[in-house]
A and B are shown apart, each in its own frame.
Chain A
Amino acid sequence: MILDILRKNDAEVIRHDERLIITSVPNEKLEEVAKELFSANCYYATGVGVDERGMSQGFAIYHIFNSENEGKYIVIKTFARNLTIPSITPVIEGANWAEREAMDMIGIKFDGHPEPERLILPDDWPEGLHPLRKDFPYNKRPPSIKPKSRVKKKDPNTIEVPVGPYHPALHEPESFELYIKGEEIVEAKYKGFHVHRGMEKLAESRMTINQIPFLAERICGICGFTHSCAYCQAVEDAAKIDVPERALYIRTLLLEIERIHSHLLWFGVVFHLLGFESGFMHTWRIREDFMNLAEILTGNRKTYGMNLIGGVRRAIDESKKRKVMRIVEGSKRDTVEIFDNVMGMRELLNRMENVGVLPKKEARGIGVVGPTARGSGIDTDVRIDHPYAAYGELEFKVPVYKTGDVLSRVLVRYEEVLESFWIIEQVLDQLPQGDIINENYKIPEFAIGLGATEAPRGEDVHFLITERENKVYRWHPRAPTYNNLPALPIMLVGEKLADAPVIIGSIDPCFSCTDHVSIIDAERGKILWKGPLNEGVRTWGG
């Protein structure tokens, strides 16, 4: 089906196996292909702009589609002609941000893009400088320019309420502009990308392939392990590395521990947003057990640091296994008890029912992922659609709710927590013996790899092109919140201001993960380190 569409449009299939199709599509056929793929139920995962001059081929964009039905990712590569590529945003709304990102970072123009404005680069960044181009040094700091002043239209009937960049409901610097009439929100705008960490550039210019898992882990402070997992999978996919089965099971175990801790954290946040502090305390009390568990298994509460290319670093012995069993057993009962009682609290349900509705059709168009999608009746889960780690051999359900309101997203996450307990039990039961790492591999040059995991917030995609000498040529992680955020204005409009925090919270936004992709330090003149650290760049032996 998908191959038919591609063949019909003169696509050249570069790689085709059971997980991935990589094709090259001519410039003029791109829109047609995108349209047909979208109507064939493939949703838009992400787009990656690449400066391929190092591979002597100019600039290109890789559009990545996810076909749940066929269980494949489809990578569509198109070269820029005179730095221009036709935009697919008019056909697929979800491509909007990805194309604008490539526009900012690589400098590709998109023909026919409805709003070709800056997305990631700060307002004072000079025109014509594109940080992810290969001829842009990673430590360059261009002088800032005077930002263009934006004219704001003022409607006397509405009040503008800024939510962010600093707001107690948002735990990270992000900003929403809400326009309200009385208590009702009439318009919502999102302004993001305040947190610039330059991770992609750093990885591409200064780090080696086995150092990046630790950088990837630091993309997110909550679901870091899933990022390092996705990165390692991408490399393993590109270099065709076999990972020992025991390592896959250990990865699965930690991924599920991370999911439980992330969801419990989120419940706490939602209860806090609804003013129910005791619920917050209860869920975080349970979560604490999982933090301790992670500490026992990996040596740290949050940054597990377990992943390397080809496997994991620490095995799980019998005594640790028993500890996990005991904690899971107790927490399961606790979680069910707390949650059942909380769900009997009418005033909380009233605040969540029919609030922040995201209809299925809009959700598909934007390409929302994870619990946000499953709350809107979309049955999508990377663990089922594209089995990775040990998920193919385990048995679990994926909860889907149709109503699309905040409550359905809460229930999806609650059932997921219960499924995660069940998965952990299975993993411990079936944990195979053997090696935990395969270090016998060679990284090919310019091989494309794609790793996808189901992060607690949804599908997490890492795209990677390798290079000589154990380096990466291009690494693009796409965090789930990147796809979920554009759905927020749809959920917010027409709701009460009082519900805005819980609606924003309901997609479990993780802003820093979304923003990590950019490179620039927006705060001008910020000194990252000083003193003896200036020696930091000194290389050894010199």
Chain B
Amino acid sequence: MNPAETNQDCTAKIDASCRVPLLALFGGAALWLVAGLALGIVAVLSFHKPDLFADCPYLSFGRAQAAANDLLLYGFAIPAGLGVMLWIFSRLSRAPLALPLVPIVAANLWHLGVLIGTATILMGGSTGYPWLEYPRAAAVLLLTAFMLVAVTASATFGFRQNRELYPAHWFLFAALLLFPWIYLTANLFLLSNHPPRGVVQAIIDWWFANNLVFLWLGLVGVGTAFYFLPKISGKPLASSGYTLFAFLTLILFGTWTGIPGSAPVPAWLPALSSVAAGLVLVPLVAILIVTLKTISGAGVSSPGSSFRFIQLGMAAFVASGLLYVCQFCPQYSRVLDFTWFGFAQTQLQLLGFAAMILLGAMYDILPRVMGTPLPFPKFARLHFFLTLGGVLLFTIPLLIGGVKQGRMLADAQIPFATVNAGVLNFLRLSTTGQMLILVGALLLLLNIFVMTIKWKIGLFKAALAAVKAPLETAEVKS
């Protein structure tokens, strides 16, 4: 057997070993993505027609928005990220996925946790802490599931044939370590029977939310991009030194941001956060340079939708990072705090950056692990343009509206009702963007659904054929 054949054989084995775990993670994630986007639209309807849910508390803005945000983060981004991570680890280790049953169990536990959490929020059982709204029962399931996936990922990582680490390893391994730490801290402090008194709760929640939404998604998204961009463009990742520098500065400074300037806490906390936010510009620039150097001059004739998704995701990462830094600059935070600006930045981080890169990765991985091309490859292209247009239409009006709202709020002569009315048109525009993203997500769901059905039919046919096949004469007792 020649080495090329062994390599192909090995790749096929890896992909086959990832099939069911990834299908479990991605299938649920796609479902939650659709649910989260739909719920986000339902939530914002309260601004278009305030009394729509006056008699139905389950879908009021506060509850639906919290549930929608959590569905996008916990329902979609994290399981999709974990699936992509498992596959990348397996590929980089050149070894099939270790303990393939464990992530299947984990995926089911995770999705159950998300279901329980979402239902609880809609029923009014949210914990009241932003990004940590899920109750204890859901938190236990999520943490268990994450640890199970981490076990498989670590085992696969340990079995790697080439001991050298790739940049993608650093980012993804760091994400694997980060989540249990922050999630356990937040839950043990805030959801225990004796939470700390007063604003300490808010501080811990800000620390947690920053480390999850900015840093965790950042690590997973950039790590995934640093695996796929060189692979698709056929060039090695530019400058390993820059990448290492970006990685270290990102986890060094990125962990300290998150306390808003307006917070009613001792002044050293927001001051520290705004300094850290300023320093986050360093890894942002480094990551931008590495990305540009890697993709520039890539001789790819037809890059395919995955490449487009991931390229755009990296652009959104830099944009969302810059907007994030702006929010912690004292000069701007006075205007931007308490406006739609922060909401729009978070949505850009979730949908423009994290979801974009993970969707690109999923469109690349799915045909490989399933061993068949996508049933509707044109939908992937269409999904890209819908997401691109949708994210721009969703976030840009709200960013502009947020600045306008902040400037009007800063002028006490302008009545509050006028301030509110001034934002409504921006909200209307942004809702159309949400709808475009939702249509795109439905296309993904359709692709995954048809793929799964075809695969199950294939399995059934194979089983039927095995049953119907005539017994080999050697096995027939004479």
A and B bind = no
Chain A residues in the interface with B (C-beta under 8 A): none
Chain B residues in the interface with A (C-beta under 8 A): none
